[in-house]
Structure 1
Amino acid sequence: AAALRPAPGQGAAARDLLALLAGGDLVQPGTARKLQDPLSFRCAPSVLGSGFAALAAARQAVELELSSAGDNPAVIAEDAVALPNANFDPTHLALAFEALGAALARVAAVSAARIMKLMSPASSDLPRFLAPVQDGSAGYGPVQKTAAALVAEIGHLAAPMPVVVLAVADGVEDYATMATATVGKTGEIVARLRLLAAVELVVAAQAVDLRPGIRLGTGSAAIHMAVRALVPRLEADRPAAPDIAAVTAFIAEGGLEPILG
């Protein structure tokens, strides 16, 4: 299906997801339960694929800067020439990171939507807030506010930097790319997205445990096991912050890379 509309990154994302699900119930014939899944699930390959494409473009921009010279003037010693130039201007880098931030904001939006769907009995057929005991327990309900706050902060950080700046140097420097600030805020987006991914993993692991009799794919089972090695199943209400922090650190340290390949 992805080949019918080969959007940038979509095919690679679809292949990665199918590889994680291989060997599980979801890829077996006749196991699908819903024809029209929520778009946060259904559009995961296209949204993640756009993120992959934006990341590749940002990487290419950085590699160009690292492998070339932005000196002004450029001194060509063998020709005894000094060439005044504007190669110090990284507009292409700033634009690549603005696009990456916007793409990651969309990745965050669908992640948060999936978190909410997993906690809703109407969507998941699981207990409300994934609380194992429906006696007024909060379950993972409070974590919804964490997800909402992270998405709001990411959306704010994804807003583009101003393109009109105050002229300095007696009017000579009347344009600035704001590339440093753009890269900085994109880094802040990544940090918050990592937290949000940890929330989704913790919530998804609980959802898996509350649905008996299912068989996960080889990759998704390995991820579930990795999360459970850090976070025990929720049996009674407890603060979620330590669990989220543990999974966030695990992601930051590259703990998922052997599974994701």
Structure 2
Amino acid sequence: MTQNVRPVLIFFDGTPLQIEQITAIAYQQAQAALSSQPEFRARIQKGADFLDRLLAEDGVVYGVTTGYGDSCTVEIPPALVPELPHHLYAYHGCGAGRYLTPVETRAVLACRLASLAQGLSGVSWALLQQLEHLLQHDILPLIPAEGSVGASGDLTPLSYVAAVLCGEREVLYKNERMPAAEALRLTGTTPLKLRPKEGLALMNGTAVMTALACLAWLRAQYVGQLACRITAANVVGIAGNAHHFDETLFAAKPHPGQQRVAARIRSDLVAEAPLRNSHRLQDRYSLRCAPHVIGVLEDALPFMRQLVEGELNSANDNPLIDPEQERVLHGGHFYGGHIAFAMDGLKNAVANVADLLDRQLAQLVDTRYNQGLPSNLSAAQGERRAINHGLKAVQISASAWTAEALKLTMPASVFSRSTECHNQDKVSMGTIAARDALRVLELTEQVVAAMLIAARQAVVLRQRVQADVPVGDAMRAWVADLAARVPLVEEDRALDQDLQRLLADIRDRAWSMYAH
């Protein structure tokens, strides 16, 4: 756990959780714990007991006494039923691509625990304890990111969780890669033997896409807030028109998120100040319409939260086991359509923010449009101006990052494939959409980092040509904070380390603002 933040316990008992609680666990600012309430444990046990009775009475349950997927017509001999969960995670061990990061993996474990804690999956208390053990001891399954079509849930990536619970495959423990069985031994526990249905309960769900969506949502919210402050700084830098963000003006178009964005920008500006070096009554769209662009993200985030948290707080495997009415309910809750839709929308809104900031940067560096600022925002003076190039290359890189982000906005959800002998003939692609959203956010955060350097540079250079340039107190403090992080670019220098430090700050701030 990080030393300067006091950890808190987040209890899992089937009651609703929020995005911030999952991300707090993911970033090790909180610890997951099963509720100690007897009623909760009794509810979990009741489902497992009902399933045991059903099997003893020769009940037929998909994935317990039958094969999986299109093999549901294959009857499993009673003597082989205990072996079936092992076969499920064994044959799904075919993931590829990068491994999920430690932050992403903790979020996956927390999301799977949240779903199973609903008490509708027929799993044992021991399985929940083993998941809790992984989280509390930070034993992180090495989960390949690629291989899920988002229905029947995240089968292949979650097979790595199931295998680790049983002491198989590999984990990251104390920054060391090791066999799962060894990490379990070092932390005082033994591999789990999965009961009937438990392999399916672990794997046949949406935990990976939901975990990535929680992380993406939080980062997107902070990107939107930073874009407001950067826009205000760029209005100051370019001697723009503060009246474009007037409260009465935005009352005429009542999108609440858009109005909040305009208010944030307005609060950083001094609307009564006279304009200098400007004959323009209206600024170009990337400044004037910034609330309309950022506002789309701001207005979409509450709806996207509803979709993500709805999935987070669901029992999403199949079949579900209703211990109260003693019914086995066969359905399709593993389908990740809500996450797919939310993440396809999120990446679109975020990429548009990257594009907005990239267009603002193009104005700032160009003497045809920046209203008296030096070319490429170079702070070099005197004869040294001739050999210094300021932020010329930063603008090129930001344009490249923006183009890549925009390229990734093609919705993943429309690329459904028919898989598994046409049993999974309509799938969500929710996990691909969530991974795309995280990549778009990564690229957009890089654009934001570049813009932090540029916006700070523009404000300082504007103050050189207009000593009385109006800057609000919050903006002044923000520019001073940036000055402490990144020296003014006067002589040409490599800026990659400055950008990396700013990126780390952005990502650190994104979760720390909301995790509590």
2:308 partner amino acid:
V
Gaps of 5+ in 2: 1-248
- Residue 64 (structure 1) shift: 0.4
Greater mean deviation of Cα atoms: 163-172 or 204-213: 163-172
Secondary structure in structure 2 of the residue aligned to 1:204: helix
Residue in 2 that maps onto 1:130: 377
1:139 corresponds to: 390
Distance apart, 1:80 and its partner CA: 1.0
Tell me, yes or no, if structure 1 residue 28 matches structure 2 residue 272: yes
**Which of 38, 46, 63 matches 2:284?**
38
Opposite residue 154 of structure 1, the aligned amino acid is A
1:110 paired with 2:344, answer no
Distance 1:163 1:174 in 2: 13
Among candidates 209, 213, 225, match of residue 480 of structure 2: 225
- What is the distance in 1 between the residues matched to 2:510 and 2:485? 11
The question of 1:15 aligning with 2:15 is answered: no
Q: 2:326 is aligned with what amino acid?
A: A
Amino acid at match of 2:401: L
| Structure 1 position 162, deviation (Å) | 5.7
**How far apart, in 2, do the equivalents of 1:89 and 1:162 lie?**
11
- 8 Å CA contact 2:379–2:390 kept in 1: the answer is yes
- How far did residue 58 of structure 1 move? 2.3
**2:482 is aligned with what amino acid?**
V
Please tell me whether the aligned partners of residues 9 and 46 of structure 1 are also in contact (alpha carbons under 8 angstroms). no
Which residue in 2 is equivalent to 1:175?
426
CA shift in 2, pair 1:196/1:30, >3 Å: same
1:211 aligns with 2:462: yes
- Residue 161 of structure 1 pairs with residue 412 of structure 2: yes
The 8 Å contact of residues 341 and 413 in structure 2, kept in 1 or not, is answered as no
Letter in 2 for 1:252: R
Cα–Cα, structure 1 residues 159 and 44, in superposed 2: closer, same or farther, change >3 Å?
same
2:448 corresponds to: 197
Once the two structures are TM-superposed, the CA of residue 29 in structure 1 deviates from its matched residue by: 4.9
Q: Which has the higher helix share?
A: 1
Q: Percent identity, aligned pairs only? A: 30
* In 2, Cα distance between equivalents of 1:249 and 1:227: 14
Q: How many residues align?
A: 254
Contact 1:132–1:139, Cα closer than 8 Å, also in 2 = yes
Bigger radius of gyration among the two = 2
Per residue, is there more strand in 1 or in 2?
Answer: 2
Question: Contact 2:337–2:413 at 8 Å: present in 1 too?
Answer: no
Q: Structure 1 CA distance, aligned partners of 2:389 and 2:375?
A: 9
> How far apart in 2 are the matches of 1:179 and 1:253?
26
Deviation digits for residues 177-218 of structure 1 (CA, Å, limit 9, x no counterpart) = 110111011011111111111111101111111122123122
- Preserved CA contact (<8 Å) 1:8 1:50: no
1:164 and 1:175 in contact (8 A); partners too? no
1:122-153 Cα shifts (integer Å, max 9, x gaps): 21121101112331421110111111110111
Moved over 4 A (4+): 255-258
- Give the AA of the match of 1:2: F
Give how far 1:236 is off.
0.8
